[in-house]
Amino acid sequence: MSEPKTYRQARFVRPAGATEIILVRHGESRAASVEQPFPLVDGQGDPELSAEGREQAEKLAQRLQHQPIDAVYVTTLRRTFETAAPLCAVKNLQPKVIADLREVHLGEWEGGLFRAKAHQQHPQFLAMQEKQEWAEIPGAESNSQLTERVKRGLAEITAAHADQLVMLVVHGGVIGNILATATGSEPFAFLGADNASISHIVAHNDRISLRRFNDTNHLSEHIGAELSMPT
């Protein structure tokens, strides 16, 4: 008598033509202060990585060094370059710049002032959180403006990398926007990815599937709920 046919649970397989994307938030940047505001690039704060951030970048490289990554993308801001550098050195890859995936433009709160306003629980910061709308910050871009350019940046990448795995080193606000759009969640539902954390998406036929969010196994075994805001 023959054995009955059985059916195992299927494992995920990347669809033909899809682009698999490792989304990395940059490592921790240096602390902000009134005496030493961040330099600006195209009106946006551009701090370097802190010592902790550089260590996080090294640990990230150790975690991903054996992954078959075909390309690495960074933004116009140096903290993404510095985070990608250790892995690019190991894998002999030259990072490509994708300007549309730069961080949320914080208007009058650029240069590190956003962090101070968050610490002070400024009324406009609280309104931003309550309404889940970046434009509550004076002069900041709106959610819709951010979504438009992030979609444009992702489309450029997926068009160039069908059937490939790429790494994007970007920013907390951008990761939050991508994942909120992908899942149809509230705008700030995924805001707060840890520095040097890994999220994982698959883009196919104008749709994005979320595979992983805020993986920090390479950094620490601690699981906590500390608030982590963009920039």
Segment 39-62 shows an average pLDDT of 97
Residue 26 has pLDDT above 80, yes or no: yes
User: Contact 154/178 with Cβ under 8 angstroms?
Assistant: yes
Number of domains in the chain: 1
Q: Answer yes or no: is 45 within a domain.
A: yes
Distance CA 44, CA 90 (A): 30
DSSP assignment of 149-200 equals: HHHHHHHHHHHH-TTEEEEEEE-HHHHHHHHHHHHT--TTTT--PPTT-EEE
Given a contact cutoff of 8 angstroms between Cβ atoms, the answer to whether 152 and 178 are in contact is no
Q: Which helix (H) or strand (E) holds 129?
A: helix 123-131
For 41, the enclosing helix (H) or strand (E) is strand 40-41
Residue 8 lies in a domain: no
Looking up residue 193, the CATH number of its domain turns out to be 3.40.50.1240
Contact in structure between 74 and 96 (CB atoms under 8 Å)? yes
227 in any annotated domain: no
SS3 (DSSP) at 44:
strand
Q: Which residue has the higher pLDDT, 104 or 11?
A: 104
Question: What tokens does 27 get?
Answer: 């490592």
| Per-residue pLDDT tens digits for 138-195 | 999 999 999 999 999 999 999 999 999 999 999 999 999 999 999 999 999 999 999 9
The set of residues, in sequence order, having a beta carbon less than 8 Å from that of 212 and lying 6+ positions away, is 198, 199, 200
Asked if residue 46 lies in contact with residue 213, where contact means CB atoms within 8 angstroms, the answer is no
The pTM of this model reads: 0.92
In a domain, 194, yes or no: yes
